[in-house]
A and B are shown apart, each in its own frame.
Chain A
Amino acid sequence: MLAYIIRRVAQSILVLFVVGLVAFSMFRFVGDPIDNMLGQERTQADIERLREQLGLDQPFVVQYWRFLEQAVQGNFGLSYRQGRPVSEILIERLPATLELAFVSGLMALAGGIALGIFTAIRRRGLSANIIMTASLIGVSLPTFLIGILLIYLFSVELGWLPSFGRGEVTDLGWWTTGFLTESGLKALILPAITLGLYQMTLIMRLVRTEMLEVLRMDYIRFARARGIRERAINFRHALKNTLVPVITITGLQLGSIIAFAIITETVFQWPGVGLLFINAIQFVDIPVMAAYLMLISVMFVGINLIVDMLYFAIDPRLRADRTQGGH
């Protein structure tokens, strides 16, 4: 098991190296950093000095290594657009995104698993079929349309909930939260639903498929043949086996919530890192793009690792001392 964990960690570090390479290449080759940092009035001497200062005269590998060194310390330089350190901007914006992702992730997970089980058990029922059809519409409905629809209903027509921003936030020094004020919570509802709905449909469909697959297994038939009641078969025998494969994909889904937050944040003008990233692309603000990429990769890789560890907790076959393949 230890060997397995070490291998997974090594793999994760490798992924981060590759992403770092992409981020670094963006810095180095997309637009000229010198151009971007010096204004119109510049002398050849200025350029040379800055080139040396930034280490652009060094070999590629050395530059890459220095970039990684800086990145590990959270130093991504200055935003081209705002002129402030990128790390500072990111830290300021991160709580908004994390709070949004947390709430919608929770919603997607709870709703998705519950509905998935329901539609699998009541496979032929009318309500299950209605939910399945609705979910197909949900998958086809782009996230931003859901957001617009919700804004139209609850902000424009009914006027119940705010259509943009985060409401009133409380500053805890190192974190700003919208959980503590009424307007903050109200502002969270629509974005959270928008972000969570798509993931919820995906998780629901996945849970349903897996559960139907499990319900066809011999050990379920055998449990039926022993007269175990339906409730125990569904929730004790089938659910646990369903959740093993679901955990991996769901874990990755939750990771992508952070990425999909970009869309939701744009629709609701939610002041998080996603909105920051989209603005960075529009204005070709390379340092912000690179830093966002690195940040989100660390999160994804972290989530992947946690998911793998969870596997061990649930599946006794993996806990056995013979190490098995990582799938």
Chain B
Amino acid sequence: MTDTPVLSVRDLVVEIPTRHGVLRPVDNVSYDIHAGEILGVVGESGAGKSMTGNAVIGLLDRPARIVSGEILLSGQPIQGLKRDAIRKLRGKKMGMIFQDPLTSLNPLLTVGDQLTETILEHLKVGQTEARKRAIAALEEVGIPAAAQRINSYPHEFSGGMRQRVVIALALCAEPDLVIADEPTTALDVSVQAQIVALLKRLCRERGVAVMLVTHDMGVIAEAADRVAVMYAGRLAELGPVREVLTQARHPYTAGLMASTPLASQGRKRLRQIPGSMPRLGALPTGCAFHPRCEFAQDKCRQEPGPTLDRCDGRAACWFPLTAKQEVSA
């Protein structure tokens, strides 16, 4: 592709200083997202997925902070910008969708208030035009009778409808990038598919770049174009979704796939990865995954795992799986 990616993350490191030492929830992470593309980011909780998203949009909670690396938005670095300049980018250039639609909306303001407020903040339009756009935004995400519902308070919507409102809010100032942080986790299973489909449609129609953070492999399989697998703050594997899903190269991804029920996989027996992800304060030496990896060798125990650009560009593993290798029972 010749065009510059909408989002470029280069060697991003986020650290949290604590009483017991410095933690690194995000460690040397690099990836691009292009216009109209959905990048899925998966991993167990605590793997650094959400932290990466928060770092990109500039909403890291203290004391977490970016210590090195670059974040480029349409080629422009955003570090070093004044706080107010970054604020203006939020909403206008990049939007964010949170996990729980119940708590993401201000209960004391109508949906219309929250929409027009955002539109007026970022677009040079008047009050009436903003309201018109707000109604259009609600219609676009599939809220019936949007012109009337715009005066409703959040509690008057169902969970799925609220998440649609949240999406409308994230997209109403027409950003180029949307970070969706577990957008379906808090929803009923029946609604999840609708929301995923809606995100996918909006991405394709508007050419928005989407960073879809989730721990649900099903959602990834359905929506993402490419997928980034994170483990203990690092990228374990990054590649086109079909290849990663069918031919995992990193043993962790393989284990993750083997433990996920996917309709396309047929009736294989589910397996689990032994042990659990180490806490950030107690990372093992060598590759963070080696204690749970059945292929681990001495090198894995002694040397930290390679970063993606130092190996084949797809799996951050000293001994990536080949097509023949299968995760045995």
Contact = CB atoms under 8 A, between A and B. Distances in A.
B104 A218 contact: yes
B242 interface: no
Interface string A204-221: 000000000000011101
B153 A218 contact: no
Contact of A317 (B117, B153, B169): B153
B7 interface: no
Interface string B51-73: 00000010100000000000000
B289 interface: no
B108 A241 contact: yes
A225 B122 CA distance: 13
Given A314-B108, A317-B155, A226 B59 contact: no
A241 B173 contact: no
A225 B155 contact: no
A221 B153 contact: no
A237 B118 CA distance: 12
B33 interface: no
Nearest to B155: A317
A83 interface: no
Contacts of B103: 217-219
Nearest to B115: A226
B90 A224 contact: yes
Contacts of A219: 103-107
A218 B100 contact: yes
A227 B117 contact: no
A218 B100 CA distance: 8
A222 interface: yes
Contacts of A223: 106, 114
Interface string A292-327: 000000000000000000000011110010000000
A317 B155 CA distance: 7
Nearest to A214: B106
B59 A227 contact: no
A235 B177 CA distance: 28
A240 interface: yes
B121 A228 contact: yes
A224 B59 CA distance: 8
The SS class assigned to the B binding surface is: helix
A259 interface: no
B169 A226 contact: yes
A39 to B, nearest CB: 65
B288 to A, nearest CB: 29
A316 B155 contact: yes
A221 to B, nearest CB: 6
A56 B222 CA distance: 85
Nearest to A315: B108
A45 to B, nearest CB: 70
Contact of A225 (B96, B105, B114): B96
B87 interface: yes
Contacts of B109: 236-237, 240
A123 to B, nearest CB: 10
B88 interface: yes
B108 A226 contact: no
B106 A228 contact: no
A244 interface: yes
A47 interface: no
A42 interface: no
Interface in A121-162: none
> Which interface residue of A244, A316, A317 has the most chain B CB atoms within 10 A?
A316
Contact of B57 (A225, A314, A315): A225
Given A218-B103, A219-B103, A219-B105, A229 B166 contact: no
A178 B89 CA distance: 57
B98 interface: yes
B156 interface: yes
Given A221-B98, A222-B166, A228 B153 contact: no
The 5 closest A-B pairs by CB, nearest first: A227-B91, A227-B90, A225-B96, A218-B103, A226-B91
Given A227-B122, A315-B107, 6 more contacts: A225-B90, A226-B169, A227-B118, A228-B121, A237-B109, A317-B155
6 contacts: A218-B103, A222-B96, A226-B170, A236-B109, A240-B108, A316-B107
